[in-house]
């Protein structure tokens, strides 16, 4: 298993969004960091004392739409099997 620091050494040009390091769950073979959507929302709720709707709106407009190059983070959205 790779740590975030090891990933950063392997892919020095890859991008991580400040404050969302704890949402990282993996990376692609190209070095794109993979962020867990639920963890992103929880981080925003915890750090800003927001409810889920506020955190989702912030994420939608300020995180999910960002594309800052081919090594931009990828957001993993959960799939329910129910």
- Rounded distance between C-alpha atoms, residue 68 and residue 59, angstroms: 16
Tens digit of each residue's pLDDT (9 = 90 or more) over 44-59? 999 999 999 999 999 9
For residue 57, tell me if it sits in a domain. yes
Q: How many domains does the chain divide into?
A: 1
Please indicate, yes or no, if residue 82 is contained in any of the structural domains: no
Where in the sequence is the domain holding 33, given as residue range(s)?
A: 4-76
Q: Could you give the CA distance from residue 71 to residue 15 in angstroms, rounded to a whole number?
A: 6
Mean per-residue pLDDT, 21-37: 96
What is the strand order of the sheet 33-36 is part of?
A: 24-27, 33-36, 74-76
Assess whether pLDDT exceeds 90 at residue 66.
Answer: no
Confidence class for position 27, pLDDT limits 50, 70, 90: very high
Predicted confidence band of residue 1 (pLDDT cuts 50, 70, 90): confident
- Please check the confidence at residue 72 and state whether its pLDDT lies above 90: yes
Q: List Cβ neighbours of 63 (8 Å cut-off, separation of 6 or more).
A: 17, 20, 40, 75
Q: What is the pLDDT of residue 68?
A: 82
């Amino acid at each position: 298993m790779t740590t975030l620091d090891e990933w950063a050494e392997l892919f020095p040009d890859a991008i991580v969004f400040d404050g969302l390091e704890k949402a990282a769950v993996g990376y692609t073979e190209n070095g794109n960091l993979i962020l867990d959507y639920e963890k992103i929302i929880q981080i925003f709720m915890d750090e800003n004392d927001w409810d889920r709707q506020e955190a989702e709106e912030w994420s939608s407009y300020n995180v999910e739409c960002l594309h800052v190059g081919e090594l931009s983070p990828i957001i993993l959205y959960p799939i329910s099997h129910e």
